[in-house]
């Protein structure tokens, strides 16, 4: 499987540049990931968990006192994909 076109490193690059940007995974990245991993929620969650790990490390190194907490990072990276959405008729 190929990686999402939106760079996972975007999670921390906005902090390095000092720009206000939508944190990864933004809405377009979530849509791309949902399409790419359709039918494989476990693989998607594993991939997102690895991105969470990398981001948590980077954010802590960049700003140990201002980095988001574990719950915030989980919700941002994995939470949106971990729970199936109800089907829309």
Instruction: Give residue-wise pLDDT tens across range 48-83.
Output: 999 999 999 998 899 889 888 999 999 999 999 987
- Which residues neighbour 1 within 8 Å (Cβ) at sequence distance 6 or greater? 36, 37, 43
Task: Write out the DSSP string of 9-70.
Answer: THHHHHHHHT---PPSS-HHHHHHHHHHTTT-HHHHHHHHHHHHHHHHHHHHHH-TTTSPPH
pLDDT, one tens digit per residue, over 30-50 is 999 999 999 999 999 999 999
Reported pTM = 0.72
Distance of alpha carbon 82 from alpha carbon 29, whole angstroms? 16
């Amino acid at each position: 499987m190929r990686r999402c076109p939106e760079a996972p490193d975007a999670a921390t690059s906005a902090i390095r540049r000092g720009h206000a940007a939508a944190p990864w995974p933004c809405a377009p990245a979530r849509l791309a990931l949902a399409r790419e991993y359709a039918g494989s929620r476990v693989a998607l969650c594993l991939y997102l968990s690895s991105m969470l790990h990398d981001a948590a490390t980077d954010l802590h190194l960049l700003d140990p006192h201002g980095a988001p907490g574990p719950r915030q990072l989980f919700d941002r990276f994995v939470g949106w994909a971990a729970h199936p959405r109800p089907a829309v008729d």
